[in-house]
Structure 1
Amino acid sequence: MRRKTREIFIGKVGIGGEHPITVQSMTNTNTKDIESTVRQILELEKQGCDIVRVAVPDREAAESIKKIKQRIGIPLIADIHFDYRLAIESIKNGVDGLRINPGNIGSKDKVKEVVSACKERQIPIRIGVNSGSIKKEILEKYNGVNENSMVYSALEHVKILEDLDYRNIKISLKATDVQLTVNAYKKVAEITEYPLHLGITEAGTPWNGTIKSSIGIGSLLLNGIGDTIRISLTGDPVEEVKVGKQILRTLGLLRDKIEIISCPTCGRTQIDLISLVNKVEKRIGNIQKPIKIAIMGCAVNGPGEAREADLGVAGGVGCALLFKKGEIIKKVEEDKLLDELVNEIEKL
């Protein structure tokens, strides 16, 4: 069962409560380069990104938010460190959310000014703690980098906001170590009802990062923990969205596309199943139907899997049986199998 949390809104996108789990990404363009930033955000939108974040290292970047917002469709978060004035300027220019740790931006008066501006426009703040950026006093108190130092570092920032009667908050606790990340999120989930933004920080290249993120984020989601996710990959941010969406599909938390089940093949397989599956994936990539397709190579598991799917293929000798809703509908020669299967998919 999914953990019950407070509900917040980033623009019109709900986080926590009963809202679906969302997928976020962050641009890797220079935010001051409005054309490149908008172009990348529009590509992320095409892949189904729900929320996007941009770095705001200076005033010019904060001022760029206004023009960027006018040309995109998804909510925009400003990522800010240390300078409260950049938060104020970003808010003035229409940002939908902030990623800023109040303990790092100076005096209480500065924090209060940011909170007042956020309250006025109903803008949420994400408290984001990374394992590599915990202050010395916390590390000494909790004996180094561990789930305790991460969680209580975050809660220290949260308390600053709560003392100003501000609770429009979400929390992230990210480490490159998967087990540490999982432990930290589990601990904070027991202590607070704020929604959680999941991620494995600096996870690596698309290959390594996808595996690390899938294990860490996936295990938390399976335990009902997490309300929004970001996959941190060293590469094109579009890949982050693809991986994030696929994690949700794999866990049954998102049903927006065709799910393909296919066997790994073995010596019993007598059709070119690998080629068939790859061609089917390409042909149906843009079809938005929440259906299940089983493409199996032989008579051992093939008929059973095929009957359980909306459409199924069970391979034979140079041919295959085609199943629909559990019933055999035809026997198809191998060279016609791709077209027959795609035709049946389009009919559903």
Structure 2
Amino acid sequence: MSSIRPWRDIARRKSRQIMVGSVPVGGDAPVTVQTMTNTPTADAGATIDQIRRCEDAGVDIIRVSCPDQDSTAALKEIVRAANVPIVADIHFHYKRALEAADAGAACLRINPGNIGSEDRVKEVIAAARANGCAIRIGVNAGSLEKDLLEKYGEPCPEALVESALDHIRILEDHDFREYKVAVKASDVFLAVAAYHALADAVDCPLHLGITEAGGLIGGTVKSSIGIGSLLWAGIGDTIRVSLSAEPEEEVRVGYEILKALGIRNRGVRVVSCPSCARQGFDVIRTVQTLEERLQHIRTPMSLSVLGCVVNGPGEARETDIGITGGGQGKHMVFLSGVTDHHVRDEDMIEHIVKLVEAKAAEIEAASASDETLDAAE
């Protein structure tokens, strides 16, 4: 088979790059994964604990809500403790944005339809500039400006884009260009259409999301369709999957979307069958256990878990490690696509975990060696 696969090519939209703290967004930077804490921000300890779990899951940027002075007062401690940039989410009171900028937020997320007059937005711009903050313009179908709703009659792509362009103009008029934009909606079609129109109109980085997407299963499906189709079209520089679930789950789903498109790999990509009567072991429970046990692996690699020999060997040839169900409780283990040995039911889980950990160490060692050689040259 040819190594050239044009049907996999994604021509990424060209955007300028901004910095969110130490993390580049846009340009040729990797597509970043974001989430948002759901603890009371004023409880700095609980918020920091949640940020730690998200960091373990691989989050690049994390947002915290700042609805009151107690929240912005706690923000300084949270920023100091976090290992990733913190975005302060500001909705109704522009003074919270001023306080958050002074507290060390790397980015201010403002919803222009809620924050008030242009003069207030100007003050936010001044605070952002003085503190080296980026700004995210967060347009949302659920909180569009009244004049746009009167003009268009309902939330529509044109209304979302017009709102975004109006507020981009304010930033640009004040010579502020460290901004990214989102035009979110809970309706997948509305959000996707708005992002396509905005992508054609501006050169700034775009923050993707399907807002209020739903629970873990329903929200994952909606987000995968919306965010995935946009990324496939080359649109998007940072993503947040909005789920009624713990924020670390949002991070994991975000990475799964990126992995499925071959945009960015982190951890183990599992290829597994839905199982049937031919299965030689309990595929469903095995995959569930392995996904839980292998969450600590950050090194990109692939693992196939197939219940029988119909598709098992073929899938295993394409993965780093593979297990295929066999007879009498003995299963075939593939390493780098080649049958290597057998393992029994009772030893299978621990055996695969050890193989994955060993492969991760091998890949990391090889990567470190290559970096050393490059440095020497």
TM-score (norm 1): 0.92
Identify the residue that residue 369 of structure 2 maps to in structure 1: none
Q: Deviations over 1:88-107 (max 9, x none)?
A: 22211211110114565445
Whole-Å separation in 1 of the counterparts to 2:160 and 2:316? 47
Identify the residue that residue 318 of structure 2 maps to in structure 1: 308
CA contact under 8 A between 2:104 and 2:131: conserved in structure 1? no
Choose the corresponding residue for 1:6, options 16, 28, 44: 16
Matches within 5 A, 1:286-305: 286-305=296-315
Compute the displacement of 1:332 (Å): 3.8
Whole-Å separation in 1 of the counterparts to 2:82 and 2:152? 43
Q: Deviations over 1:146-193 (max 9, x none)?
A: 111111111111111111111111111111111111111111111111
Compute the displacement of 1:304 (Å): 1.2
TM-score (norm 2): 0.85
Choose the corresponding residue for 2:142, options 93, 115, 132: 132
CA contact under 8 A between 1:101 and 1:157: conserved in structure 2? no
Matches within 5 A, 1:202-213: 202-213=212-223
- Superposed CA RMSD in Å reads 2.1
Amino acid corresponding to residue 244 of structure 2 in structure 1: T
Identify the residue that residue 358 of structure 2 maps to in structure 1: 347
Whole-Å separation in 2 of the counterparts to 1:305 and 1:157? 50
Compute the displacement of 1:345 (Å): 3.0
Structure 1, unmatched stretches of 5+, are none
Whole-Å separation in 1 of the counterparts to 2:134 and 2:335? 47
Structure 2, unmatched stretches of 5+, are 1-10, 360-377
Q: Deviations over 1:188-221 (max 9, x none)?
A: 1111111111111111222221221122111111
Matched, 1:252 2:262: yes
Compute the displacement of 1:296 (Å): 1.8
Worse-matched range after superposition: 27-36 or 173-182 = 27-36
Choose the corresponding residue for 1:28, options 14, 38, 54: 38
Whole-Å separation in 2 of the counterparts to 1:323 and 1:106? 61
Identify the residue that residue 268 of structure 1 maps to in structure 2: 278
Compute the displacement of 1:86 (Å): 2.0
Q: Deviations over 1:83-140 (max 9, x none)?
A: 3322222211211110114565445443333222222333111111111111232123
Whole-Å separation in 2 of the counterparts to 1:130 and 1:195? 17
Amino acid corresponding to residue 258 of structure 1 in structure 2: V
Compute the displacement of 1:142 (Å): 3.1
Identify the residue that residue 87 of structure 2 maps to in structure 1: 77
Flag the 1:331–1:43 CA change in 2: closer, same or farther, 3 A: closer
Matched, 1:47 2:57: yes
Amino acid corresponding to residue 210 of structure 1 in structure 2: T
Whole-Å separation in 1 of the counterparts to 2:353 and 2:43? 43
CA contact under 8 A between 1:307 and 1:327: conserved in structure 2? yes
Identify the residue that residue 320 of structure 1 maps to in structure 2: 331
Amino acid corresponding to residue 50 of structure 2 in structure 1: Q
Identify the residue that residue 365 of structure 2 maps to in structure 1: none
Q: Deviations over 1:252-300 (max 9, x none)?
A: 2222212221112223333433344344334433233322122222222
Flag the 1:172–1:261 CA change in 2: closer, same or farther, 3 A: same
CA contact under 8 A between 1:271 and 1:317: conserved in structure 2? no
Identify the residue that residue 194 of structure 1 maps to in structure 2: 204
Worse-matched range after superposition: 158-167 or 131-140 = 131-140
Give the share of equivalent positions with the same residue, in percent: 47
Off by >6 Å, runs of 4+ in structure 1:
none
Whole-Å separation in 2 of the counterparts to 1:104 and 1:85? 13
Worse-matched range after superposition: 262-271 or 199-208 = 262-271
CA contact under 8 A between 2:334 and 2:340: conserved in structure 1? yes
Secondary structure at the aligned position of 1:213 is classed as helix
Whole-Å separation in 2 of the counterparts to 1:205 and 1:103? 26
Q: Deviations over 1:199-244 (max 9, x none)?
A: 1111122222122112211111111111111122223222222222
Matches within 5 A, 1:56-67: 56-67=66-77
Flag the 1:334–1:149 CA change in 2: closer, same or farther, 3 A: same
Secondary structure at the aligned position of 2:81 is classed as coil
